[in-house]
Amino acid sequence: MLIKRKRGWEIKESEITPERYFLDRRSAIFGLAGAAAVAATGGIGRTALAQAKNAPQTSGLVAPELYPAKRNEAYQAGRDLTEEKVATSYNNFYEFGTNKYIADSAQKLTIKPWRIQIDGMVEKPIEIEAEELIRKMPVEERIYRFRCVEAWAMTVPWSGFQLSELVKFAKPAGDPKYLRMQTFVRSDEARGQRQDWYPWPYTEGLSMAEAMNELAFMVTGAYGKPLPKQMGAPIRLATPWKYGFKSVKSIVRFSFTNERPRTFWEGLAPDEYGFWANVNPAVAHPRWSQATEEIIGTGKRIPSVIYNGYGEQVAALYKDIEGGSGRKLFM
């Protein structure tokens, strides 16, 4: 374990990771001794680097012929890319464990075949193989900043397609207000799902206006290759103006609905992780500040920016809802 001097602005990762909190709480409730054995670490980047192995093979992944996809130069991050070996070895994917080093266990996930259901308020429910769906879509590369609620950030060259293209394909009917997205449930492959106190499946959602925003992106690749399993293969969401937990991985179901989806993290801690979850340095998480973020892989900490710097594209979405700039939009 790395030991380093603590400076004023630093928070220990053990103090801010939600998993630590929940494991401690559940251990207290269920007497699960040792369940909270999450390493207390200092610099996130250096820890990730220390744990980094070579990126896993891309063989067996979905629609490999689509990568590298042509970069859409309209989406630049203004920051250096996070090194691939860091981004692919420091991951959050509770289905495979509550620490950040789940890349190996995630290789157990079978992603071929991968059936996707599209249902709810649509002209006609659709069931389609992920590879077939992805091949129908205009796949391109975009560089996005990514800001986790735990106050760390990455910059990733994602490949995929605009979520609005999937909405068009789905043909919503009757003017639904929300799009709900859900991850698989397979406790045989994903050991984390044997912990039955979590509200599986991992569920997230967007308002339809958010889903139609140009930034909402279905990710199917990263670093010029098909998406590795630990990053949410074969298809996951990226909403770069929101905290990272909104970016649901390994999606099997899209449902159009008038009911606001109850999300995984809302189910666990509604006072800490809200539905909107827009990045805002001025609204602290109940247990830590959101004023700054650590760029993983560098050990550097920089000021955070409202909507993660994407206000030009998304600020208008929130003018008229839930009190505009109220705390609720930023939890």
Ligand X SMILES: Nc1nc2c(c(=O)[nH]1)N[C@H]1C(S)=C(S)[C@@H](COP(=O)(O)O)O[C@H]1N2
Among 97, 240, 244, 261, binds Mo ion (CB under 5 A): 244
Residue 265's H or E segment, with its range, is helix 264-268
Which residues in the 168-187 window bind ligand X by CB under 6 A? Answer: 183
Number of residues that bind Mo ion (CB under 5 A): 4
Phi, psi of 226 (to 5 degrees): -60, 150
Residue 91 or residue 213: which is nearer to ligand X going by CB?
A: 91
Which of the stretches 20-28, 30-38, 240-248, 306-314 binds ligand X when contact is defined by CB under 6 A? 240-248
Rule CB under 6 A: is residue 94 a binding residue for ligand X? yes
Rule CB under 5 A: is residue 245 a binding residue for Mo ion? yes
Q: Are the beta carbons of 189 and 114 closer than 8 angstroms?
A: no
Q: Are the beta carbons of 159 and 221 closer than 8 angstroms?
A: yes
Q: Are the beta carbons of 246 and 277 closer than 8 angstroms?
A: yes
Which of the stretches 57-65, 244-252, 288-296, 318-326 binds ligand X when contact is defined by CB under 6 A? 244-252
As measured in angstroms, the least distance from the Cβ of 321 to ligand X is 24
Long-range contacts of residues 122-130, Cβ cutoff 8 Å, at least 24 apart: 122/170, 122/171, 122/172, 122/173, 122/256, 123/171, 123/172, 123/173, 124/171, 126/169, 126/170, 130/62, 130/234, 130/235
In DSSP terms, 159 is beta-bridged to: 141, 221
As measured in angstroms, the least distance from the Cβ of 316 to ligand X is 25
Which residues in the 140-169 window bind ligand X by CB under 6 A? Answer: 148
Rule CB under 6 A: is residue 231 a binding residue for ligand X? yes
Rounded CA separation 141/68 (Å): 8
Q: Binding partner of residue 180 among Mo ion, ligand X, none, CB under 5 to 8 Å per kind?
A: none
Rounded CA separation 267/87 (Å): 27
Rule CB under 6 A: is residue 83 a binding residue for ligand X? no
Please provide the distance, in angstroms rounded to a whole number, between the alpha carbons at the two ends of the chain: 32
Which of the stretches 22-30, 38-46, 147-155, 223-231 binds Mo ion when contact is defined by CB under 5 A? 147-155
Q: Are the beta carbons of 122 and 171 closer than 8 angstroms?
A: yes
Residue 284 or residue 325: which is nearer to ligand X going by CB?
A: 284
Q: Binding partner of residue 95 among Mo ion, ligand X, none, CB under 5 to 8 Å per kind?
A: ligand X
Rule CB under 6 A: is residue 298 a binding residue for ligand X? no
Among 95, 141, 210, 293, binds ligand X (CB under 6 A): 95
Peptide bond into 64 cis (omega under 30): no
Rule CB under 6 A: is residue 202 a binding residue for ligand X? yes
Strands (E), 148-283: 152-162, 178-183, 203-207, 217-222, 225-226, 236-238, 251-257
Which of the stretches 89-97, 105-113, 308-316, 321-329 binds ligand X when contact is defined by CB under 6 A? 89-97
**For residues 198-211, b (16+ Cβ closer than 10 Å) or e, as one string?**
bebbbbbbbbbebb
Residue 153 or residue 235: which is nearer to Mo ion going by CB?
A: 153
Residue 288 or residue 325: which is nearer to ligand X going by CB?
A: 288
Tell me which residue has tokens 């492959």. 189
Residue 245 or residue 276: which is nearer to Mo ion going by CB?
A: 245
- Positions touching Mo ion (CB under 5 A) are 92, 148, 244-245
- Positions touching ligand X (CB under 6 A) are 91-95, 148, 183, 202, 231, 244-245, 247-250
